[in-house]
Amino acid sequence: MKLIGDGTLAIFKADDPGEACRCALQAETLTRGRIAALNFKRTAQGLAVTDAYLSLHIGDVLYGNIGSSDRLDFTVVGLAVNEASRIAIMCRSIERAVLVSPSFAAAARPEDRARLVSVGRYALRGVAQSQELFTLEDNV
């Protein structure tokens, strides 16, 4: 896991890509449930509530301690990190809390893929070709 400003990058490592996707989808469901519970309590107390948006993507990354002997930082780098970030940025303009990349959709198990709904093709900054993005059917 990596904190990035007000964002978080989570990695779900598994030998089977479909299993990694399943774990990421379970984490999404848990996160949404916990945010809803927190918001319920905060609303009852007259406090501000929060929300989160996220992207689900699958790809190759490098991770580990990077830096010098004076300052090491555990980080994650690679094109997949950049692409996930670009997809997350699209959540606001597309008005979806969850966006899923085509590679995640392709790697997901059939029962998980059945939950995905296309939201159209979009150009992502720094990504060569436009991509069809998806959301979860309960997020439409």
Q: Which residues pair with 129 in a beta bridge?
A: none
| C-alpha–C-alpha distance, residues 104 and 54, integer Å | 13
Domain 2-139: homologous superfamily in CATH = Nucleotide cyclase, GGDEF domain (3.30.70.1230)
pLDDT at 1: 53
- Based on its alpha-carbon atoms, the radius of gyration of the chain, rounded to whole angstroms, reads 16
One-letter identity of residue 32: R
Side chain identity, residue 19: E
3 confidence band (pLDDT: 50, 70, 90): low
Q: Please tell me the pTM assigned to this model.
A: 0.86
Report pLDDT digits (tens) over 21-46. Answer: 999 999 999 999 999 999 999 999 99
What residues does each domain of the chain span?
2-139
Tokens of 47: 């406090």
